[in-house]
Chain A
Amino acid sequence: MALDKIETGAEVHRTSVSEKKLSDHALIEATKNGDEAAFAEIVARYRNPITNYLYRFLNDYEEAVDLSQETFVRVYFAIERYHTDYAFSTYIYRIATNLAISEIRKRKRRTILSLTGLFQTDVEDVTEFQPPDTRSLPDEDLLEDEKAGVIAKAIETLPVKYRVPIILRDIEGKTYDEIAEIMELGLGTTKSRISRARGLLKEKLKHYF
């Protein structure tokens, strides 16, 4: 099993010390050659960014975690077909994006087919995953959480073609070139979509300006 070394903390520490020095491509090559710790290091590097990206995309934490795992499963089984022509991060974000888009399409179908949806209200609880915090929350944090929920909702209402680049740019901090590669678009189109997405968000969040 390739991920035997993920779970046991001691081994993860021992292997990750040596694997962390390697580039993504080197880790992929090592995984192809049967180095299971290399794939564990890839997972360790990308699990949080990919989960965060999918969560901001779908605004559903459980679904985001599920698709994040599916992303790594696909990477694992398709590792032989991966070519190092472009960055691994581009490759894995592209897989995650495609999965998220498929999920949104499924949601639309479910919405259309669901008769009970006619009687549901649009009010949804926007919950974010966060580690347990034993401290008492000050009012400032409460306000911040409310604002974060509104922003997340605003992002969710963006069309997919604007949602993907704005998340990658302003939340994930990707460069325009990387975003253009992930979306398989031209640089100009990518910039234009990001600009348009900001304009749309500005309209939706004007009360916070």
Chain B
Amino acid sequence: MKYDKDKFTDGENGTLSVDDRKVAEMLGNLRIIGAPKDFDHRLKARIANASPSAHTAGRFFPVLRYVMPLALFLLIGGAFIWNSALNGGQNGVTPIAETVQPVIPATIARPAIIENKSVETATSAAPPQSENFSPAKIEVTAVRQPKASSRKVETVSENGISSVDRALKQAPKTILPRGFDPEPIVANVVPPGPENKKQFTVREFLAAIGIDAVFAGSFWKVGSVVKNSPADNAGLRTGDLIESIDGRTADEQTVFADGFKAKTIKIVRESKTLVIDLKY
């Protein structure tokens, strides 16, 4: 593009091109439009009605306009994410399950998770419809023992009891809101947390009966025995090799339910296998 030296000059520093001068003259000849006569009066009223904060805060208006909604959006979004992260994909049943937890008897709840045994074990451990029958127990037994009850009913029917008696003897069922499956409640029966510790390791069990042992591949080697402890009273000695406890193979992964009390310990002493009865 050819440089036009007149392009960047005018009356201040040089001369304008003819056309530019005409344009400048046309604009310069326009009538000066002044303020109306009541300008000062209106301005005075405007200043009187305006608050200083309204005009100084205007500088921060863009911030308030854009940042505040964004912050609000992030806050709400964060709350939702945090809430969903806490629930951990329990599909919305968690609130009801949590309300049920405190009233469930521990003796029923624990074996379902720890021992991974069938529900019959749990129901047999629970007192079946005792005189101190509480609503909480109704709920748990209803959820947990459909198989047991049906099996029991079959047995009873073999003894000649009518279907009406069978129905009356069936455990009461909990009425749940529509759409709620009772199974997730069972899954949440055992509340998490250290305060509800429901299992302990073999090492902890041995320590509880007075044995300090080390796991040596396939058995526990007794290092020392506390005097007058259940283990000492049963006759266990240093150097004994513990193979099983109550018939269960004991390794580092084995865990016992809370309240578990072993009756027998199988050991190897001087190449001889012995079964020792524990006394508490």
The residues of A with any CB-CB pair to B shorter than 8 Å are: 1-4, 6-7, 40, 43-44, 47-48, 50-52, 55-56, 61, 64-65, 68-70, 72-74, 76-78, 128-130, 148, 151-152, 155, 166-167, 169-171, 173, 175-176, 188, 191-192, 194-195, 198-199, 201-202, 205, 208-209
Closest to B51 in A: A77
Cβ distance B61 to chain A, nearest Cβ, rounded Å: 11
Hey, which chain A residues are within 8 Å of B48, CB to CB? 1
Interchain Cβ contacts within 8 Å, total number:
117
**5 extra interchain contacts, Cβ-Cβ under 8 A, other than A3-B43, A47-B40?**
A6-B44, A69-B39, A73-B43, A166-B27, A205-B26
Hey, which chain A residues are within 8 Å of B246, CB to CB? none
Assembled-state Cα–Cα distance A3/B30 (Å): 31
Hey, which chain B residues are within 8 Å of A171, CB to CB? 27-28, 30
Hey, which chain B residues are within 8 Å of A169, CB to CB? 24
Closest 9 CB pairs of A and B: A170-B27, A48-B34, A3-B44, A6-B40, A47-B35, A51-B35, A77-B55, A198-B23, A170-B24
Hey, which chain B residues are within 8 Å of A155, CB to CB? 27
Evaluate whether A195 and B7 lie within 8 angstroms (CB atoms) in the complex, with A73-B47, A128-B33, A209-B22 already known: yes
Hey, which chain B residues are within 8 Å of A151, CB to CB? 26-27, 30
Chain B 6-46 interface residues, beta-carbon cutoff 8 Å to A: 7-8, 10, 12, 19-20, 22-24, 26-28, 30-36, 39-44, 46
Total interface residues on B, CB under 8 Å, equals 32
> Does B135 belong to the interface (CB within 8 Å)?
no
Assembled-state Cα–Cα distance A170/B30 (Å): 10
Hey, which chain B residues are within 8 Å of A128, CB to CB? 31, 33
Interface centre among A64, A198, A208, by most chain B C-beta atoms within 10 angstroms, is: A198
Evaluate whether A47 and B30 lie within 8 angstroms (CB atoms) in the complex, with A69-B39, A202-B23, A209-B22 already known: no
Cβ distance A186 to chain B, nearest Cβ, rounded Å: 12
Closest to B9 in A: A191
Interface contact B33-A198, CB-CB below 8 Å: no
Contact of A198 among B20, B36, B47 (CB under 8 A): B20
Hey, which chain A residues are within 8 Å of B20, CB to CB? 195, 198-199, 202
Cβ distance B196 to chain A, nearest Cβ, rounded Å: 60
